[in-house]
Amino acid sequence: MSKDIFNVLDGWAYEPDELSVRIITGDDGREKIQLRLDLGVLQMEMDGRPDGLRPEGAESWLDYYEERQREHAAAHPDSAPWRLDAEDCGRLLREGLQYYHRYISLWSLDRYELCARDTARNLRLFAFVRDHARTDRDKLQFDQFRPYVTMMHARAVATPLVKARNYAAALKAIDEGIAGIRQFFDEYGQSDQVSKCSELTFLERWRKDVASKKSGKAKRLPRDPLQALRKELEDAVAEERFEDAARLRDEIRRINNTTTPLRADESL
């Protein structure tokens, strides 16, 4: 059997400014996700670890290390706490990137419940590393992405609720996201920086739109705040306000960085 992937890519052009994702049926009869890259394709399992592997027999490295930590705590309650070393964190970071690729793909496919599952999983990863990594550097390597993943989780939970016109439940999910991002800045003693957080600004704008619909003041379904940002960008370019345009473009890219799969040092 040929190992050439040309037939897989033939007719499926790579679009650098768009996320190209599809669901296919694998040879095993199960649905799989394919994410188009410039030089090929990523294929991911729909459930479990995206690459389908079971490290050390566990569902993931995160599950494996969580069990090791529990065993250590039970066997040595009075000893030094169990810690993740640099190699452990490297495994977890690479694994977290797999889940990132899958949840941005699920978001693009409108599989919101599964996107919420995987964003919640990476938030659990960040919390575990915060609690057990040996160095602050390793902790921050993961936790710096918490505002983004918190925002994406809120979007994944709230979007289908907005579409179902369950605005009260949607607002609750958005409020939890806002609170989670604010807590992040509080924990790092940077409460004065919240106004510069594009993820928080995004959720607060969206909350206002959803709340107006809930109160009956809005005539249409609340729109994704990204639409408003894109309109602001178009106006800034048309009016030659290039500094504003650059800022808005960066904000849009930061919030909606699902358009380009990222390296392990860029996002989770």
CB-based contact 161:173 (threshold 8 Å): yes
Residue 114 has pLDDT above 80, yes or no: yes
Supply the pLDDT for residue 254: 65
How far is residue 253's CA from residue 268's CA, in Å, rounded to a whole number? 15
* Structure tokens, 113: 């419940």
Q: Quick: pLDDT tens for 2-47.
A: 788 888 888 899 988 788 999 999 999 999 999 999 999 999 999 9
pLDDT band, residue 217 (cuts 50/70/90):
low
In 49-85, which residue ranges form alpha helices assigned H by DSSP?
61-75
The residue among 225, 232, 268, 265 whose CA lies nearest residue 247 is 232
pLDDT band, residue 223 (cuts 50/70/90):
low
Residue 63 has pLDDT above 50, yes or no: yes
Q: Quick: pLDDT tens for 73-98.
A: 999 988 889 999 999 999 999 999 99
21-53 core/surface letters (b: 16 or more CB in 10 A; e: else): beeeeeeeeeebbbbbeeeebbebbeeebbeee
Supply the pLDDT for residue 2: 77
Question: Regarding predicted confidence, which is higher, 233 or 125?
Answer: 125
Q: What's the whole-number mean pLDDT along residues 206-218?
A: 82
Residue 146 has pLDDT above 90, yes or no: yes
pLDDT band, residue 218 (cuts 50/70/90):
low
Query: Where does residue 107 rank: exposed (0-12), middle (13-18), buried (19+ CB within 10 A)?
Result: buried
Q: Quick: pLDDT tens for 226-268.
A: 666 777 777 777 777 777 777 777 777 666 654 344 444 445 6
How far is residue 43's CA from residue 35's CA, in Å, rounded to a whole number? 6
Q: What's the whole-number mean pLDDT along residues 128-148?
A: 96
Residue 53 has pLDDT above 90, yes or no: yes
pTM of structure: 0.83
pLDDT band, residue 215 (cuts 50/70/90):
confident
Number of H-type helices and E-type strands within the chain: 10, 3
Q: What's the whole-number mean pLDDT along residues 45-72?
A: 97
CB-based contact 129:84 (threshold 8 Å): yes
Q: What's the whole-number mean pLDDT along residues 89-116?
A: 97
Supply the pLDDT for residue 10: 87
Delimit the domains of the chain by residue range: 145-268
Supply the pLDDT for residue 18: 82
Q: Quick: pLDDT tens for 184-196.
A: 999 999 999 998 8
Supply the pLDDT for residue 258: 46
- Which of 63-72, 84-93, 207-216 is the least confident region? 207-216
